């Protein structure tokens, strides 16, 4: 690298504005030192400008916005320069058409350098005499502007030299991007974040106002995509398969014949790349650069990821999790360049600096190897059109956390689906982890929860009659067997049962029950199934030659919707066979007060059982539910003849779980359980839809609970 550049850089750390002014101006001259006069006249494309034009335009900026405006006796260096070196300021009149900047053989380079000296002389005078806020602000803007042109100058030189057959080096020693490792995704929680520049220190107007945005949790790579990864994309048809590309990008790929990033050229089997140090072999482990937005987006699509939004990028850049933030390549974001809420450009000509470009461009964040040191900030918003790629642009991948919910984890998938629904809901089957199962046992012991006691007493009193229907050598298949408490009442009354098939999702519950059963029923064969009985299951071989007796006590059938209950009973019928019987307990509709008390016990056990669902989400799905921010609600729904349980949000709140974010309004409910209550007739109608008919039924005294025996109906 040209040794004259770095001393100028260290000057940039000096404190006085005047010193900083001189240091930045000197750095521009140091950057053109390796160039000859001829190098600085030619314009290689309409987007690029000749070096001489950059030298003059940056000078014009100070002359126009500071010297002419604030120094009454300032003598213009040349009145025609306003036309030649105005870039795009409509308020300042007509100008040299942008694509024709390369026609300016005059003024000569020497005259442009004299122009710089003239303006520097008067700027020094101004800075010594006027330290006002207006001057300081405009000088800061002028310096940031000149630093932007320092970067543009290098981009434009690379483009110009890249078009030359000679492939000249701007600086043989110009450092390439350091090789490194591939990126790893880092997870960020998102939430409400502040975006944009704070009021202290210089920032461009487009970085303001600072404002809040809401971010879903996301993942972002800690490093930029490498050349090697890009080569894999190319080898996988990256530039020949339309499915990766945005439509406009695909048209461009075809029209331009793009097959690789800008400046890549094939050299036999390998690729090489034009750099500021001349032609160099592609370094596989270095970050890929000189990409259009379309290429970056296509790669992200191919990689099953996406580009970060600019808000995600800014949050991540400040998190300490990222490398290669601003020293390698600008990073395309998927954010369209537009105004932040409340943005107002200045009413003076300088207001044209950024605001009027806020359409049809995409935001890039970070900074590049050619960005002047100290120029960029985490809030900095660079912007280019999506097809442009002569700047030092690369990419950093991001991805949605939700897209990576483990679909094998049914709990996670159901939580995400249920909490995303318009009416939030979750299946009651998720109540029953170890804690939930213990809490349910405790509910059964509360004075208010009559179901278990009533059913047990009823079964005890009718067990003989129930057993009379059970044939010899039968297999008792229990759905959701848990601790198998009630089973013993059937087994004691029906010794003709030879095989017991308890089905329960909890292996622990099964193991405990089997140990007890083996002890108490030594002649009974036990063939447990650790399964979710609502899913397709197969009975063990031992059950094949037996007539099957299904056992489904506890009114668990009431926790299914009528439609689900019919589906379940149909599949149970198919599982058990056409000669099967079914013993099933169902709670009956009764006075509301009894029901209300049963699900609102005074000790609050049912409330704890209900909230255990949230605790379970917290522990198993990395949730952050505040259990105290929800109330237990159990109410009677007359129309549907069911008790309902809900968790009601006490406040407006945001909750994260399973990598997703969910908003709850104050008073909003999460519906956790239905407990349907039947009449003997409504129950018979329900089971009939599933191909069962009632053989017998027994109803307890108040509070009324029923036990039914069913057989497969003839019609099925
Ligand atoms: C398991 N099931 C029949 C119980 C019921 O009554 O619906 C679960 C329960 N929910 C609240 N308390 C008990």
- Mean pLDDT per 10-residue section of the chain, whose length is 716 residues: 46 72 98 98 98 98 97 96 97 96 98 98 95 93 98 98 97 92 89 91 95 94 96 94 97 98 96 98 96 98 94 96 96 98 89 94 98 97 98 96 64 91 93 92 97 98 97 96 91 96 88 92 94 86 95 97 93 94 98 98 98 96 95 97 98 91 94 98 97 97 98 78
Ligand 1 pocket, mutate which of 426, 428, 705 (most atoms under 8 A from CB): 428
**Alpha-helix runs per DSSP H in 401-444:** 410-420, 434-444
Determine the 3-state secondary structure of 641 from DSSP. coil
Q: Using the CB atoms, write b or e for 1-37: b if 16+ within 10 Å.
A: eeeebeebbeebeeeeebebbbbbbbbbebbbebbee
> For residue 422, how far is its CA from the centre of ligand 1 (angstroms)?
25
Counting ligand 1 atoms within 8 A of each CB, the residue from 427, 440, 553 with the most, and so the one to mutate, is: 440
Distance between Cα 444 and ligand 1 center (Å): 9
CB 610 near ligand 1, within 6 Å? no
Whose Cα sits closest to atom 9 in ligand 1?
A: 440
pLDDT at 10: 42
Nearest by Cα to 310 from 354, 289, 353, 340: 340
Considering the entire predicted model, what is its pTM? 0.60
Cα of 668 from ligand 1 centre, angstroms: 22
**Helices 109-129, 17-32: inter-axial angle, 10-degree rounding:** 170
- Ligand 1 pocket residue status of 150, Cβ below 6 Å: no
Neighbours of 606 (CB within 10 A): 24
For position 103, what pLDDT does the model report? 97
* Strand ranges inside 175-267, DSSP E: 185-188, 191-195, 211-215, 218-221, 264-267
pLDDT, residue 669, reads 97
> Distance from first CA to last CA of the chain, Å, rounded?
88
Residue 605 Cβ contacting ligand 1 at under 6 Å: no
**pLDDT score recorded for residue 494:** 97
Coil, helix or strand for 277? coil
Q: Is 82 in the pocket of ligand 1 (CB under 6 A)?
A: no
The residue nearest atom 4 of ligand 1, judged by CA position, is 556
φ/ψ of 51, rounded to 5, equals -55, -40
Contact 694, 708 (CB under 8 A): yes
Backbone angles phi, psi at 661, to 5 degrees: -120, 135
Q: Burial of 408 by CB count in 10 Å (0-12 exposed, 13-18 middle, 19+ buried)? A: exposed
Identify the pLDDT of residue 179: 87
Distance CA 515, CA 523 (A): 14
Q: Distance between CA atoms of 55 and 153, rounded to whole angstroms?
A: 9
């Amino acid at each position: 690298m040209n040794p004259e550049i770095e001393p100028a850089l260290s000057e940039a750390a000096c404190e006085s504005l005047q010193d900083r002014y001189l240091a930045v101006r000197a750095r521009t001259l140091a950057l053109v030192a390796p160039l000859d006069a001829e190098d600085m006249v030619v314009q290689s494309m309409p987007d690029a400008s000749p070096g001489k034009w950059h030298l003059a335009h940056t000078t014009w900026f100070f002359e126009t916005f500071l010297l002419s405006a604030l120094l009454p006796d300032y003598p213009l260096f040349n009145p025609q320069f306003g036309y030649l070196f105005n870039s795009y300021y409509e308020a300042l009149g007509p100008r040299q058409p942008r694509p024709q900047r390369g026609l300016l053989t005059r003024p000569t380079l020497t005259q442009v350098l004299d122009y710089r000296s003239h303006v520097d002389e008067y700027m020094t005078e101004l800075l010594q005499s006027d330290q006002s806020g207006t001057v300081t602000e405009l000088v800061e803007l002028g310096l940031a502007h000149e630093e932007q042109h320092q970067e543009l100058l290098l981009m434009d030189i690379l483009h110009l030299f890249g078009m030359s057959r000679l492939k000249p080096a701007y600086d043989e020693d110009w450092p390439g991007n350091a090789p490194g490792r591939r990126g790893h995704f880092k997870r960020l929680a998102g939430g409400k974040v502040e975006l944009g520049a704070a009021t202290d220190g210089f920032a461009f107007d487009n970085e303001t106002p600072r404002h809040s945005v809401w971010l879903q949790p996301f993942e972002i790579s800690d490093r930029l995509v490498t050349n090697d990864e890009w080569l894999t994309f190319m080898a996988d048809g990256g530039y020949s398969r339309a499915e990766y590309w945005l439509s406009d990008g695909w048209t461009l790929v075809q029209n331009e014949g793009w097959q690789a990033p800008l400046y890549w050229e094939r050299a036999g089997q390998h690729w090489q790349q034009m750099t500021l140090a001349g032609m160099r072999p592609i370094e596989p482990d270095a970050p890929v650069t000189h990409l259009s937005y379309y290429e970056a987006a296509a790669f992200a699509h191919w990689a099953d990821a996406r580009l970060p939004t600019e808000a995600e990028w800014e949050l991540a850049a400040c998190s300490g999790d990222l490398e290669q933030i601003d020293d390698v390549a600008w990073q395309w974001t998927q954010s369209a360049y537009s105004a932040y809420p409340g943005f107002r450009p200045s009413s003076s000509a300088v207001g044209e600096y950024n605001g009027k470009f806020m359409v049809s461009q995409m935001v890039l964040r970070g900074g590049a190897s050619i960005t002047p040191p100290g120029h960029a900030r985490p809030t900095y918003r660079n912007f280019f059109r999506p097809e442009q790629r002569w700047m030092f642009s690369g990419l950093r991948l991001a991805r949605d956390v939700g897209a990576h919910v483990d679909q094998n984890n049914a709990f996670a998938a159901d939580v995400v689906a249920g909490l995303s629904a318009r009416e939030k809901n979750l299946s009651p089957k998720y109540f029953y982890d170890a804690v939930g199962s213990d809490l349910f046992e405790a509910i059964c012991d509360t004075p208010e929860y009559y179901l278990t006691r009533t059913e047990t007493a009823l079964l005890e009193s009718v067990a003989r009659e129930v057993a009379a229907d059970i044939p010899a050598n039968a297999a008792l298949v229990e759905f959701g067997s848990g601790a198998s408490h009630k089973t013993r009442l059937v087994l004691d009354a029906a010794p003709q049962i030879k095989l017991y098939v308890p089905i329960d999702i909890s292996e622990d519950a099964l193991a405990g029950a089997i140990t007890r059963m083996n002890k108490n029923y030594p002649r009974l064969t036990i063939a447990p199934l650790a399964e979710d009985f609502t899913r397709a299951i197969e009975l063990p071989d031992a059950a094949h030659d037996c007539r099957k007796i299904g056992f489904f006590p506890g009114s668990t059938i009431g926790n299914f919707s009528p439609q689900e209950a019919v589906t379940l009973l149909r599949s149970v019928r198919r599982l058990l066979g056409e000669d099967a019987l079914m013993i099933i307990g169902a709670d009956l509709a009764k006075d509301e007060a009894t029901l209300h008390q049963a699900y609102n016990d005074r000790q609050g056990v049912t409330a704890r059982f209900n909230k255990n669902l949230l605790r379970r989400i917290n522990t198993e799905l990395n949730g952050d539910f505040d259990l105290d921010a929800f109330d237990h609600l159990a109410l009677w729904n007359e129309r549907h003849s069911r008790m309902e349980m809900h968790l009601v949000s006490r406040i407006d709140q945001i909750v994260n779980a399973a990598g997703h974010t969910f908003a709850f309004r104050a008073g909003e409910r999460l519906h956790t359980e239905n407990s349907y209550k039947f009449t003997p007739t409504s129950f018979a109608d329900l089971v009939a839809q599933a191909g069962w008919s009632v053989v017998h039924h027994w109803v307890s005294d108040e509070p009324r609970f029923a036990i039914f025996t069913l057989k497969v109906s003839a019609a099925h």
